[in-house]
Amino acid sequence: MNEITVHAPATVANLVCGFDVLGLCLSEPYDIMRLRLLDKRQVIINTTDNFPLPKDPALNTAGAPLLEMLAVLKQDVGFEVTITKQIKPGSGIGSSAASAAGAVVAANELLGNRFSNEELVRFAMFGEKVASGVKHADNIAPCIYGGVTLIRSIFPLDIIPISSPPLFVSVLHPQIEVRTSDAREILRKEVLLKDAIRQWGNIGGLVAGLMKGDYDLIGRSLEDVIIEPVRSILIPGFDIIKSECKSAGAIGGGISGSGPSIFMLSRDEQTAQTVAGVMKSIYDRIGVNYHIYVTTLNHQGVVVKQNA
Ligand code: HSE
């Protein structure tokens, strides 16, 4: 086998209170990536879309992780990568993570699966460093493992898959760009002890609620007193969307990643569709263009579609 196609899905991370530590994999949208094995130590990046992403592999979120992988391989191999992005860069639903995770999962498949998922996350984090200047794994890990993951620690890497009940996800993606690096820059570097206590209570509650399948506990725990109050200012209509979606039956939700996307979790598809309708009517009133997705929790992560 020397060619492979994978679907690399979008992710929601942070999961509200779980800044940089909790993430969830979505079934849609996803990037389509084709990788070809080369017999030379090089990485070539091609794109088939109109997003102005760097072709230099060292500066590309798919290329940088593959260069790291080549650095540990003691053989003359390389990869030609063709990326069709369907997850808009700067959307807050893990566009850079999808490219990074898709690249390493596909490369690993071509190499006969010699690396563990944890090693793949370690390589893929170099893509996040290229994208935002910081290595974080809250999007990468759910994209590779599927489902919900907790990053207990990055150095050393400690990833814990978290089981969960069925979840439907409504995502509003306002067509404005919020750069992750800017959305990190505006955050306060210190937090009050009372806020930290509330936040770690919520993270514990969210993890317990997911593992117990307790939707009410999940809903009560989807509260962020540290990051959301700062970042939500960048997102038109954030507060009203959140309160009206909850009134319409959503369990809860918040900013997806560093924004501008907003996500809401529901117990069933019908509620998720109603919630999407609420998002739509508010944004039609506000007059900002948007995309809306209604999708499910993806337990598989990156999906291998085709071998050749
Ligand atoms: N955890 C990151 C952040 C995700 O919120 O800055 C961004 O993709």
Instruction: Kindly report the protein residue whose alpha carbon is nearest to atom 1 of ligand 1.
Output: 20
The ligand 1 atom nearest the CA atom of 97: 8
Residue 32 confidence (pLDDT): 96
**Model confidence pLDDT, tens digit, residues 180-233:** 888 888 999 999 999 999 999 999 999 999 999 999 999 999 999 999 999 999
Q: What is the pTM (predicted TM-score) of this model?
A: 0.94
Statement to judge: residues 21 and 156 lie in one domain: yes
Indicate which residue of 180, 228, 271, 295 is catalytic. Answer: 180
Asked if 180 is an active-site residue, the reply is: yes
The residue whose CB lies within 8 Å of the most ligand 1 atoms, and thus the one to mutate among 88, 99, 132, is 132
Residue 253 confidence (pLDDT): 98
C-beta of 231 in contact with ligand 1 (< 6 A): no
One-letter identity of residue 99: S
Tell me the pLDDT of the chain averaged across its residues: 95
Statement to judge: residues 228 and 144 lie in one domain: no
Statement to judge: residues 71 and 83 lie in one domain: yes
The residue whose CB lies within 8 Å of the most ligand 1 atoms, and thus the one to mutate among 61, 91, 138, 224, is 138
Q: Is pLDDT of 133 > 90? A: no
C-beta of 91 in contact with ligand 1 (< 6 A): no
Statement to judge: residues 42 and 88 lie in one domain: yes
SS (H, E, C) the chain: CCEEEEEEEEEECCECCCCCCEEEEEEEEEEEEEEEEECCCCEEEEECCCCCCCCCHHHCCCHHHHHHHHHHCCCCCEEEEEEECCCCCCCCCCHHHHHHHHHHHHHHHHCCCCCCHHHHHHHHHHHHHHHHCCCCCCCHHHHHHCCEEEEEECCCCEEEEECCCCCEEEEEEECCCCCHHHHHHCCCCCCCHHHHHHHHHHHHHHHHHHHHCCHHHHHHHCCCCCCHHHHHHHCCCHHHHHHHHHHCCCCEEEEECCCCCEEEEECCHHHHHHHHHHHHHHHHHHCCCEEEEEEEECCCCCEEEEEC
DSSP state of 245: H
**Model confidence pLDDT, tens digit, residues 276-308:** 999 999 999 999 999 999 999 999 999 999 765
Statement to judge: residues 99 and 207 lie in one domain: no
Structural domain containing residue 240: 168-296
State in Å: Cα 285 to ligand 1 middle. Answer: 28
Statement to judge: residues 288 and 303 lie in one domain: no
Which of 124-138, 142-156, 159-173 comes out lowest in average pLDDT?
124-138
Statement to judge: residues 151 and 203 lie in one domain: no
Residues 112 and 129: their CA atoms lie apart, in Å, by: 27
Indicate which residue of 5, 11, 61, 128 is catalytic. Answer: 128
Statement to judge: residues 175 and 140 lie in one domain: no
Q: What is the CATH number of the domain that holds 214?
A: 3.30.70.890
Statement to judge: residues 7 and 131 lie in one domain: yes
What angle (nearest 5°) sits at the alpha carbon of residue 270, between those of residues 269 and 275? 95
Statement to judge: residues 12 and 148 lie in one domain: yes
Instruction: Kindly report the protein residue whose alpha carbon is nearest to atom 8 of ligand 1.
Output: 257
Q: What is the CATH number of the domain that holds 111?
A: 3.30.230.10
Q: Number of structural domains, the chain?
A: 2
